[in-house]
Structure 1
Amino acid sequence: MKKLLAPLAIAALLLTACGGGVATAPSSGTPTDASSQTATQKPDPQMPDVVGMNSGKAVNLLSTIGINTEFKGPDGKAFSTPSAANTTVKDASVSAGTTVKRGQRVTITLNASEAELAAQAAATALASQMATRYQFTCTKTNSIYSDKSAFKTTDYRAIWASPDFAAFTQCNVTLGGKSSSDRPALIGDEQIIVDKVASNGGDVSIPSGALIDVLKACALPPDIGYDTSKGPGNNRVEALTISALDKCGDAPFAAELSRIASGQPPARMKDGTYVVGTAIQAGTYQVQVPAGANGVHDCYWERTTTQGGTIANDFISFAPQGPVVTIFEGEGFVSTRCGTWSRIG
């Protein structure tokens, strides 16, 4: 028996050495999951409530959840750059809460059209420009440019409110930093103002110059001689004051502007010769003695007929108060070294 076992053991050893051992079953790996090899699909989004939302925010929100958008105004016209529009959402083609296929395009209606937005933007830009367009420089001296104490403002109403209003002798005006000699282009309603000056017989050969004259008429009361300051033909000055009344009818000197606009002669005069009723109003006048002055000296006045005859006259060597004279329509009046006469009755 022992002889039989020995050869069997030897045979088993030889088989093992030659790789002939008992075969074992291969180990099984982890089963392959087919779903992990496919990208995870997000569910279709639901339409959020964007009514009343700013259009830019609405675009960002819908884009984030996978909804494409197109915008139009209440006029039905599409926006070229909807996300930049400063508007709010008025309506959407898909109701809030509705499931929308990913990538689907939803139409958003805004509360304003692109044309309306452009007009609003232009109006805002113009208002900003107009706020500082007019520069008024007023002075109590005869020099606008050398007077370091000159009053400067962008609003003629500030001139009226200035404590120096009564002392200002002149105001200079520029448009956007440019004078009339630069001939700046008109903007906003400025052309309408100039067109009205032209329609009333005014000189608009330099449109910016005509506009500046209107603004000057709004800044200070018309001085003596303003009626004829633009040369022959009072309609040239009347045209300016008519437009000035449209622009600054609340001026504290609006009554004087109205007088000039209506073609009525003035009720104040300096030394000179006048036809009563044409160049000066009829009535009773008195010389206004300047503050601090020692009366009136060497004043001569004369009333004349239409043919030049003397009706009445007087030479005043000295008068503590200004002389008084009554003049009548149709006659002439002469004043020499008397100063300024104002009607008192």
Structure 2
Amino acid sequence: MKRRTAAAAAVAALALTACSNASTEGKAGPAAPPSVITSTPPPVITSAPEVAYTPVPITASIQCTGADTEFSTPGEAWSGAYSLCEGTVSGDKLSPKEQQALTTAYGKGDDGDISPLGTLYSMCAQNATDSFGYLEDAGSPEQIAEVRGALLLCPDHPQKGRITQMLAGAEKDNRLSAEGKIFGSGVLTVGKDVQPGTYVTTDVTNCYWERTDRNGNPIDNYFTAGAARVQVTIRASDYSFNSEDCGEWRPAE
């Protein structure tokens, strides 16, 4: 009986050992700690602080024909008698006077284009006896505006009085032309192209004029090979007035 018990115990011990080996077979060892992935942060890009832009005041460079030096202001040229000058400007900070001159001369606002200011500075530098003489012959509205802008830029111009007088005359001529009271050659309809009145022209050669009725028949006509002064009265009852080689007709004074 004891032998069987000892044998049974031996068998039981072997069984327990087998079970213990089976339970641990195939098991992994202790798990490795997880790996830590590190990344390098992107570099911090810093920019230089913005510097506020400071506008640069306008400076002028004026060259006049016959002058040995370059002028930086119109007044420097007034000691001479220059009839032709050219000017350029640099910078971008207009003074109130410069902005007003540009607006008056060219209708320009603050659009950044300051190049025409050089023209106004060059006009201010001109101080010859014949400067701005074109205003007496054919001062267009554009020319008048430009000269007025220049005078705003240089209100102390030595010939301001003379120039102002010519401006007034040119403006009057433009008004009379628009009203049909200053006119030249051609066939003109009375009341539309030309207004009734008495007109004169001067220093003419081979001048011919005629007043006509609605049917084109002459009411009166005239011809001269040369004359210092020719006068005609156009009536409201005339249909047309025609002149050839008579120059410019102006209201008689």
TM-score range (shorter-chain normalised) is 0.3 to 0.5
Computing the radius of gyration from Cα coordinates, the structure with the larger value is 2
Higher-RCO chain (CA-CA 8 Å, sequence separation at least 6): 2
